[in-house]
Amino acid sequence: MNTLKHILPIIIALFSIGCGGSKDGEDTPTTPAPSPLAATLIFPANNETCNEGVIISETESTVTFKWNSAEFTDSYLVNITNLETNTSQSISSETNEKSITILRGTPFKWNVVSKAKGTNSTAQSSDWKFYNAGIPQESHAPFPAEAVFPKPGSSINAGTITIKWNANDVDNDISTYDIYLDTNNPPSTFVAAQTSNSIDLDVASGQIYYWQITTKDRAGNSSQSQVFEFKVN
């Protein structure tokens, strides 16, 4: 019994150390990596003609895309969309500029996505459009119009709605818009030709409508938007 009295305190002490004395060995919660911030685009400038590319051939030139470095960012993804074909490409960059070969005489849209190690969060810059210069010409076709309302794929209530769109031209000489809308894709029903970028139309419930805008300028150039769609409740 005397021996047990001497051993028991030792056992209790060892048990206490094993259960509560390992704080130094516990995993320290890691601080999440900060989310990257969006970059600010610099060049090619928005809604302007890019004349600074290195000409590769009659059809291609290499343009150096530039943007401001974004905080908490380790790399970038440059997204470029050909507005004539609506085809896109994405190119990675470790710095805040990237030289990319693209078609000449073609309108483009581009943005930059900021990425960082240790987080799946990303941040996207605003979208900018530009016209990559081709063989010198006196005027350029307008940029294809973009839907403002209804948003593509959205659902709206039946009745009279105001369809709205945006369009730009580096020559700033847009003259008219031709509006097409019906329940077929692509729409073939000509609705109106007008100078404003909105129109009031009646839509029926239970239908899916498709609409498209042809933008024309005073020099006789034109561009056709994508086909936009919306559902009527």
Per-residue pLDDT tens over the stretch 191-200 = 999 999 999 9
Confidence of residue 136 (pLDDT cuts 50, 70, 90): confident
What domains sit in the chain, N to C, each tagged with a CATH number? 41-132 (2.60.40.10), 146-232 (2.60.40.10)
pTM: 0.73
User: Which residues, listed in sequence order, are joined to residue 214 by a DSSP beta bridge?
Assistant: 178, 224
Closest by CA to 72, choosing from 30, 123, 107, is 123
pLDDT at site 21: 47
Which of 231, 228, 223, 227 minimizes the C-alpha distance to 105?
Answer: 223
Q: What angle do CA 30, 33, 38 make, to 5 degrees?
A: 170
| Mean pLDDT of the residues in the chain | 90
Q: What is the pLDDT of residues 97-107, one digit of tens each?
A: 999 999 999 99
How do residues 26-82 score in pLDDT, each as one tens digit?
A: 566 677 889 999 999 999 999 999 999 999 999 999 999 999 999 999 999 999 999
